Amino acid sequence: MTDIFLIRHGPTHAKGMVGWSDLAADLSDTQALARLEAALPKDAFVISSDLSRAVTTADAIQAKRHRLPHDRDLREMNFGDWELKVFSEVEAESPERLRAFYETPGEISPPNGDSWHALCARSNAAIDRLVASNHAPNLVVVAHFGVILSQVQRALGLTAYQAFGHKIENLSITHVMVCDGLWSGGQISHTP
């Protein structure tokens, strides 16, 4: 069995859609980081996406845990032409596409960006590689909102629309488990 502790990176304070833009995380809440680090298994392996907001968050909670190389496949959804735009800007440009993107997530994507299915395929493959590698019974994965939701969907057997209904806070823990290929979920977006 592998316990996977999915951590959402520290806040960026950006107001728009942040996908592949490499924005820094605000890690000034050292007490929150200390509580987060203390709540994680000491024998876990730590990995993050290659975007700096995830990398620096992983650095801040790593302690004496073994670190694995950053994984580009753990990146957030690529918002393409919607990147860094606020909701109202995107809604003014393409209201039907934006509505379909959120109401029927799956194949719909931002122009030049990822669909929900593309994000899930990429992040599921990355997590599957980690589980298959048998690094440890505990993995800490510092990633992004979409990546974490993709694993919540998988673990709880939800539709994409149901998964989108979950809020994932910055510096929170979402716990999922996999045993012999069977996924299950624990706490979602727990802030220690």
Nearest to 143 by CA among 8, 20, 43: 8
Length of the chain measured in residues: 192
Per-residue confidence (pLDDT) for residue 1, from 0 to 100: 87
Per-residue confidence (pLDDT) for residue 192, from 0 to 100: 93
Distance separating alpha carbons of residues 97 and 113, to the nearest angstrom = 13
Per-residue confidence (pLDDT) for residue 138, from 0 to 100: 94
- Per-residue pLDDT of 149-191, as tens digits, reads 999 999 999 999 999 889 999 999 999 999 888 999 889 999 9
Q: Report, as an integer, the average pLDDT of 112-138.
A: 92
- Per-residue pLDDT of 80-119, as tens digits, reads 999 999 999 999 999 999 999 989 988 999 999 999 999 9
Tokens encoding 140: 């800490």
- Say if residue 78's pLDDT is above 80: yes
pLDDT band at 79 (very low <50, low <70, confident <90, very high): very high
> Considering only the top CATH level, what class is 2-185?
alpha beta
- Per-residue pLDDT of 24-67, as tens digits, reads 999 999 999 999 999 999 999 999 999 999 999 999 999 999 99
pTM of the model: 0.95
Q: Other C-beta atoms within 10 Å of 138: how many?
A: 18
Q: What is the residue extent of each domain of the chain?
A: 2-185
C-beta of residue 47 within 8 angstroms of C-beta of residue 123: no
